[in-house]
């Protein structure tokens, strides 16, 4: 039986600020009615006035938790006849429970399925899938539940090592340890920071690559099995593991035939992983490239649109 295609007439953006305004603009250009949500503290925020309709959510919950109120957002969407919800980036954009809640309510979630978000959201599990299909990985990763296991594994792969939060990103829960003393100190710090930022203290360890290039490959997938890449972005300029500037194309991958081989290898790796999990919507595969060894390694997949999308728009016109 042919699947019925539903026309989107009304979109709610479960976000605020710049990303919400960009989505409203795109929807308006497509003739789609828009709905904004805002917290009590954001009642004068510009995004509220850029939508056709606007409603307060999370009263009394604070400026951040209001945008995480899944039940209230879904209830509002149903009440106002919303066809689809766009999560933007941050907040609920990589929350598998939000994607599942939209599906259960009969609302289109503009993003990948909850199953895909759950699979890629845990970086250790994501790397297991990548390993299974032959993508190159940094030695590790190894999920560690306590300090003693962390010390033992670090001795096995050799220092320096990188501690990372198993859930989440943005540089939170990341530490570089060059010896056992530093590892003991940073293990507690990274676990605590991960718990505060993502609600989970899970940490994994992998070999630290010194002075690598951080390369992203953006992909787009539709609901019919078609997946394409949108080339790469170089996001190596960072402060405290937070990206400061991104640019495209990556100059370091356009200097020789070997660099061209590495670049195309990343494209194929991103497409291969996306096909393996049946990815839909916009997403980004992140790689570390070691110019000294001419090796690249899969790091993680962001199952959402990103603020860096504007760089890709300038590069491709998409």
DSSP class of residue 170 equals T
Over 60: is that where the pLDDT of 3 sits?
Answer: no
Q: What is the pLDDT of residue 1?
A: 42
Over the stretch 134-156, which tens digit does the pLDDT of each residue have?
999 987 666 777 888 889 989 98
Confidence band (pLDDT; 50, 70, 90) for 106?
A: very high
pLDDT single digits (tens) 237-282 = 988 778 899 999 999 888 777 888 999 999 999 999 999 999 999 9
Phi and psi of 140, rounded to 5°? 110, -155
pLDDT in tens, 15-49: 999 999 999 999 999 999 999 999 999 999 999 99
pLDDT exceeding 90 applies to what percent of the chain? 64
Over residues 107-127, the mean pLDDT reads 91
pLDDT for residue 195: 79
In the prediction, which pLDDT does 169 show? 67
Cα angle 122-203-177, degrees, rounded to a multiple of 5: 135
Residues 20, 36: contact at Cβ < 8 Å?
A: yes
Given this model, what pLDDT does residue 4 score?
63
Residue 127 host element (H or E): helix 123-132
The mean per-residue pLDDT over the stretch 295-299 comes to: 92
- The mean predicted confidence, pLDDT, of the chain is 90
Q: Among 129, 235, 146, which residue's Cα sits nearest to residue 187?
A: 146
- Active-site residue identified among 172, 233, 263, 304: 304
Catalytic status, residue 240: no
Whether the Cβ atoms of residue 232 and residue 217 lie closer than 8 Å to each other: yes
Please check the confidence at residue 318 and state whether its pLDDT lies above 80: yes
Segment 175-214, tens digit of pLDDT = 899 999 999 999 988 888 887 777 778 888 888 888 889 9
Average pLDDT over residues 79-88: 97
pLDDT at 168: 67
What is residue 205's three-state secondary structure? strand
Q: Residue 286 has what pLDDT? A: 95
């Amino acid at each position: 039986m042919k699947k019925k295609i539903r026309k989107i007439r009304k979109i709610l953006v479960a976000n605020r600020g710049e990303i919400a305004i960009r989505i409203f603009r795109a929807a308006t250009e497509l003739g789609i009615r828009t709905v904004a949500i805002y917290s009590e503290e954001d009642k004068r925020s510009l995004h509220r006035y850029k939508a056709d309709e606007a409603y307060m959510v999370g009263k009394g919950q604070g400026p951040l938790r209001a945008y995480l109120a899944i039940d209230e957002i879904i209830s509002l969407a149903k009440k106002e006849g919303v066809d689809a919800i766009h999560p933007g980036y941050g907040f609920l954009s990589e929350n598998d429970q939000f994607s599942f809640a939209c599906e259960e309510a009969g609302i289109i979630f503009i993003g990948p399925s909850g199953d895909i978000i759950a699979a890629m959201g845990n970086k250790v599990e994501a790397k297991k899938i990548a390993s299974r299909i032959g993508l190159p990985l940094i030695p590790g990763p190894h999920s560690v539940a306590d300090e003693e296991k962390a010390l033992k594994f670090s001795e096995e792969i050799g220092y320096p090592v990188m501690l990372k939060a198993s859930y989440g990103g943005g540089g939170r829960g990341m530490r570089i340890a060059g010896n056992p003393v530093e590892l003991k100190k940073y293990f507690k710090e990274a676990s605590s920071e991960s718990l505060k930022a993502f609600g989970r203290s899970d940490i994994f360890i992998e070999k630290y690559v010194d002075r690598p290039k951080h390369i992203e490959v953006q992909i787009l997938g539709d609901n019919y099995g078609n997946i394409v890449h949108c080339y790469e972005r170089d996001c190596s300029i960072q402060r405290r593991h937070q990206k400061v500037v991104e640019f495209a194309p990556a100059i370091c991958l356009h200097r020789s035939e070997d660099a061209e081989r590495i670049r195309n290898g990343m494209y194929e790796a991103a497409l291969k992983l996306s096909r393996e999990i049946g990815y839909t919507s916009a997403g980004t595969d992140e790689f570390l490239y070691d110019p000294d060894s001419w090796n690249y390694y899969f790091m993680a997949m962001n199952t959402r649109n990103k603020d860096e999308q504007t760089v890709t728009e300038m590069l491709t016109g998409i």
